[in-house]
Amino acid sequence: MLWIKNGIVVDPKNKINLEKMDIFVKNGKIVPESEIKKGDCKVIDASGKLVVAGGVDMHAHIAGGKINTGRTMRPEEMRVVRNIAGKFRASVGRVLLTAPAIGYEYAKMGYTTSFEAATPPVSSLHTHEELDSIPMIDKAALPVFGNWHLVFKCIEEKNIEKLKALVAWAIERSKGFGVKVVNPGGVEAWMYGGNVKNLDDQVPGFGVTPREIITWLIRANEELGLPHSVHLHCNNLGVPGNYQTTIESIKLAKGFKNEKRQVLHVTHVQFNAYSGSSWRDFGSGAAEIAKLVNSMDNVTIDMGQPIFGHATAMTGDAPFQFTLHKLLGARWSNKDTEVETGAGIVPIGYLPNNPVHAVQWAIGLELGLLTESDKVALTTDYPNGGPFTEYPYIMAMLMSKKMREGELKKVHQYVQKATNLPSIDVEKTLYEVIHMTRSLPARILGLENKGHLGIGADADIAIYNLNPLETDFSNGFEKVYKAFKVAEFTIKGGEVIVRNGELLKEVYGRTFWVDARKKVDLEVVMQDVKNYFQYYSLQLSNYGVEERWLKKPERLEVV
């Protein structure tokens, strides 16, 4: 039992803004005062300190084939030693971290949940093995659907029951959480050396278009009633002028409705918000996208903010990765994952004096500032945009115009004419930023017990050494940044795991997975699945992950 005394609480889900209150924890949950015996409690004095829910990262690449290949091809990333083996596991990595380092660094920053954003269903066993070796945080993985031959077949036949059955079956087999779509149709076209350029291009070999793939998957996802919506990585990522494709894709959500959450989440929009026709007249299309998202009530986005310094581009968007490799002349790894998807990896670095990188950096912030705080989550698309350890930098930037002015002086001045960032006066409040990092991502993902401090929520709590009542967020940005960088206390499931940035205890979080099998008749798709498995490299009986193989699985059943 835990009693957090006199903290200054910000809890946007429960509409609590800067109230001095006590929080009580029992059996890993937040409980009312009446349920605990104060004498038996461990007391944490949080007077004058900020108490919020543990952070929720809704889109990061933290486990699976891609990040592991990235580690293999970037030995230089592994020379930063973060922790020498002893009470805790050895952890290394500059930006591309090893599995223990990921858990430790999240915990030190007060984050307690993170979602692996893309895993091919066929390699989900690897993803789960890696997720199981990440300590400290709760996690889950999103399997990818946008380029799977079986998905194409169901859409070609216009058979929604079959598609729903396939989605439910695949999510169960991969112990996944939702429907991720990466460059729909484009990765399949890449298998023949091509890509799709707009939503109505036909996917080679199949009678489907990206528009149909997205719409049908949203329909299947909504009819199944999964906790999370379709999680879309748009077509034409990283191409100047792509903001129009993004706008068209977002409009596909019109006509769908869900009481609880959005019906389409568009991810790392920064990489999909470029105007212009080439890298020479490249600029920002963030304002148009933000305007559209603000006008719709069923779409959310996340930033994908680049951080200056080292990063590694790794996505299922294999054709984009090849373009990037040609552009930078950097190392490149490519993968064709059976009939399901592909992937690519390229090391990159964001340099402040490079006009393109400076504009990318500004676009991420524009999206964060111009979009309503209830519709944009804070991410770096780790490790594509940079390390998640720099989230406090983004938080401070969103809250301080003065800090942005200072940073704008250090970057290439092309941003002045190519983006609107210099003229944006918005300063987000602490309440909004806490929403963007806690309650909003939890709501987008459909996690009811995460991201807030209401009764019944998981006792994932972060306490920061920052008195929000006495802090001037516009001018005191350095202090804000430092405070959010190192949590004074991180509490996971009711246990104190970090104190002043020092690890105290190693815990292993749960892996969430979604079971929607009751909503469908799996038999409608099994014959097709069996036919396809004649061409897979493994047998159907060996496909997928059994629940008992996971360290701490938690099934969320859809009924």
Residues that bind other proteins (CB under 8 A): 74-77, 79
Interatomic CA distance for residues 149 and 145, integer angstroms: 9
Minimal distance, residue 76 CB to other proteins, in Å: 3
Element (H, E) at 216: helix 210-224
Q: How far is the CB of 69 from other proteins (least distance, A)?
A: 14
Question: What six digits make up the tokens of 343?
Answer: 């992937």
| CA gap 225, 516 in Å, rounded | 8
Do the beta carbons of residue 439 and residue 54 sit within 8 Å?
no
Taking the least distance from each CB to other proteins, the nearer of 96 and 208 is: 96
Q: Could you tell me the smallest distance in angstroms from the CB atom of residue 78 to other proteins?
A: 8
Contact 497, 136 (CB under 8 A): yes
> Smallest gap, in angstroms, from Cβ of residue 86 to other proteins?
11
Minimum CB distance to other proteins smaller for 67 or for 370 = 67
Question: Based on CB atoms, which residue is closest to other proteins, 73 or 191?
Answer: 73
Cβ neighbours of residue 439 under 8 Å, at least 6 residues apart? 11, 12, 13, 53, 451, 452
b/e 454-483 (16+ beta carbons within 10 angstroms → b): eeebbbbbbbbbbebeebebeebbeebbeb
Whole-number Å distance between alpha carbons of 233 and 146: 9
**Given the complex with other proteins, which of 324 and 394 has the nearer CB atom?**
324
**Is residue 128 within a helix (H) or strand (E), and if so which, with residue range?**
helix 124-132
Identify which of residues 241 and 349 has a Cβ nearer to other proteins in the complex: 349
Q: Which is nearer to other proteins, 257 or 331 (CB)?
A: 331
Asked if 113 contacts 148 with a C-beta cutoff of 8 angstroms, the reply is no
> Are the beta carbons of 508 and 551 closer than 8 angstroms?
yes
In DSSP terms, 60 is beta-bridged to 116
- For the CB of residue 95, give the shortest distance to other proteins in the complex, in Å: 13
Q: Least distance to other proteins from the beta carbon of 325, Å?
A: 15
Shorter beta-carbon distance to other proteins: residue 39 or 75: 75
Are 276 and 311 a contacting pair, CB within 8 Å?
A: no
* CB of 263 vs other proteins, minimal distance in Å: 43
